[in-house]
Amino acid sequence: MKIKICGMKYQDNINQVAALQPDYLGFIFYEKSSRFFEGVIPKLAKTIKKVGVFVDASLDFVLNQIKTHQLNVIQLHGKETPEFCNELRQAVLDSASHTVEIIKVFSIKDHFDFSVLQPFENICDYFLFDTKGKLPGGNGYTFNWDVLKNYPSTTPYFLSGGIGLDEVETILSFLQKKESKYCYAIDVNSKFEITPGLKDIEALEKFKEKLIS
């Protein structure tokens, strides 16, 4: 099971988290977020993929951040259309010097119409299911994972939304169920923070140990 740690902000903290060897580190390029990333991403191990998180950003802005930070993955957390995702994919193929994957985020509470995924199939590499809340991510509570019993796709997905140390047993139980077949990664953020963007290294270390032991 892959682990993504999102909402990275501070240089020293990024290096500390990177030392835990997560599979993905997420950087939020959305000015209204308290975890908005500015500056330079420090050099990371090649095994760690850099994820740029965007909310209804322009194509030019996304492409510029890919080039500036050598992003490996783009996470679209707004109301981006299948047409935008396809335009982004084509632009990346034309201009990027390396492979860039696309994650499209969908927010869930107690119900979800999975038919909305269909137009994004074969355009996006992954889906990410987050908790529906006031903010586009980082709301701090989980959605009803039973909804995923109806997951109709074979596109691998990231499970996100309010996941912390207290959810480890629930995650391990979920991963034994049929609906977890295409669960590719666990995405964590706010439940491991001291302040927005500043991650608790000890808590993350415990989480990783419990999840992969």
Is 90 exceeded by the pLDDT of residue 110? no
The helix/strand/coil state of 121 is coil
pLDDT bucket at 2, cuts 50 / 70 / 90: very high
Mean pLDDT of 59-71: 97
Q: Nearest 5°: phi and psi at 68?
A: -65, -45
Q: Report the share of the chain in percent with pLDDT over 70.
A: 95
Q: How far apart, in Å, are the Cα atoms of 141 and each of 27, 102, 108, 179, 189?
A: 20, 24, 11, 20, 11
Amino acid 127 reads F
Closest CA to 7 of 170, 162, 205, 199: 199
**What would the two tokens of residue 10 be?**
């501070």
Q: How far apart, in Å, are the Cα atoms of 77 and each of 17, 28, 103, 174, 207?
A: 23, 10, 9, 24, 25
**What would the two tokens of residue 139 be?**
């709301």
Amino acid 191 reads K
Closest CA to 17 of 212, 197, 213: 197
Average pLDDT, the chain: 94
Is 90 exceeded by the pLDDT of residue 119? yes
pLDDT bucket at 206, cuts 50 / 70 / 90: very high
CB 50 within 8 A of CB 25: yes
The pLDDT of residue 103: 98
Q: Which domains does the chain have, with CATH numbers?
A: 2-212 (3.20.20.70)
Is 70 exceeded by the pLDDT of residue 140? no
The pLDDT of residue 134: 58
Model's pTM, two decimal places?
A: 0.95
Q: Quote the distance between the C-alpha of residue 185 and its chain's center.
A: 9
CA angle, 85 then 50 then 200, to 5°: 125
Is 80 exceeded by the pLDDT of residue 73? yes
Which tens digits make up the pLDDT trace of 157-194?
999 999 999 999 999 999 999 999 999 999 999 999 99
pLDDT bucket at 142, cuts 50 / 70 / 90: confident
Minimum mean pLDDT among 53-67, 94-108, 113-127, 186-200: which range? Answer: 94-108
